[in-house]
A and B are shown apart, each in its own frame.
Chain A
């Protein structure tokens, strides 16, 4: 199993541009999550999903959108990039146990 994979690894965006961060898991997990990690800070939940077709907001959803059309994929969309969205983004998934499995992260710089 590859676990949780994320693409791209790194991206530079200009203010106002849009992009989609991809996340895929091959563990057949129902639960998936998007977090952002700012320097020296913990993980803040952006959006989460409890199954295909079901998504909900986390602590910091403003400026982001998600979709969950399949069990495997949970893309995160930034519509109008702002400098405040400069961060490292982690996708995670979990099955019936509580353990969350994290991807390697996407580092995003908005200039």
Chain B
């Protein structure tokens, strides 16, 4: 079955620096890869997603890249701000309506 590994588990960056979180997946048939952000005491919220027919997608300071050959996809946050501090989860589909989530990355942006 599908398996998703996420690294690193924690990441501390200085405000204004970039942050990169990487996930690998096992099922080559997977075609949809979302990223969720979870702020303290709240439920996860979708921030960006990518489909397997594109290699990169950007939304302001956030971008996601996909390498289908290597079976990995990454979240890039540029010009980090303190409000980017949160837990980030990647996910991949295990069926047409179910997702499997990575173990999460706790990002801390130091002012």
Report whether B101 and A42 are in contact in the complex, using a CB–CB cutoff of 8 Å: yes
Tell me the minimal C-beta distance from A87 to chain B in angstroms: 14
The answer to the question of B62 belonging to the interface, with a C-beta cut-off of 8 Å to chain A, is: no
> Chain B interface secondary structure, helix, strand, loop or mixed?
strand
Tell me the minimal C-beta distance from B3 to chain A in angstroms: 12
- Residue from B34, B41, B43, B100 in contact with A98 in the complex, judged by beta carbons closer than 8 Å: B34
Report whether B104 and A42 are in contact in the complex, using a CB–CB cutoff of 8 Å: yes
- Residues in chain B near residue A102, CB distance under 8 A: 36, 43-45
Tell me the minimal C-beta distance from A37 to chain B in angstroms: 9
Tell me the minimal C-beta distance from A53 to chain B in angstroms: 16
The answer to the question of B61 belonging to the interface, with a C-beta cut-off of 8 Å to chain A, is: no
Interface residues of B toward A: which range? 20 to 34
Tell me the minimal C-beta distance from B75 to chain A in angstroms: 15
Report whether A100 and B102 are in contact in the complex, using a CB–CB cutoff of 8 Å: no
Chain A interface residue count, Cβ-Cβ cutoff 8 angstroms:
22
Tell me the minimal C-beta distance from B38 to chain A in angstroms: 8
- Residue from A31, A33, A105 in contact with B42 in the complex, judged by beta carbons closer than 8 Å: A105
Distance between Cα atoms of A104 and B44 in the complex (Å): 8
The answer to the question of B18 belonging to the interface, with a C-beta cut-off of 8 Å to chain A, is: no
Residues of B within 8 A of A (CB): 6, 9, 32, 34, 36, 41-46, 49, 89, 93, 97-104
Residues of A within 8 A of B (CB): 4, 31, 33, 40-43, 45, 48, 50, 58, 90, 92, 94, 98-105
17 sampled A-B residue pairs with Cβ under 8 A? A31-B97, A40-B104, A41-B103, A42-B6, A42-B102, A42-B104, A45-B98, A45-B100, A58-B98, A90-B43, A90-B44, A94-B97, A98-B34, A98-B49, A98-B93, A100-B46, A104-B42
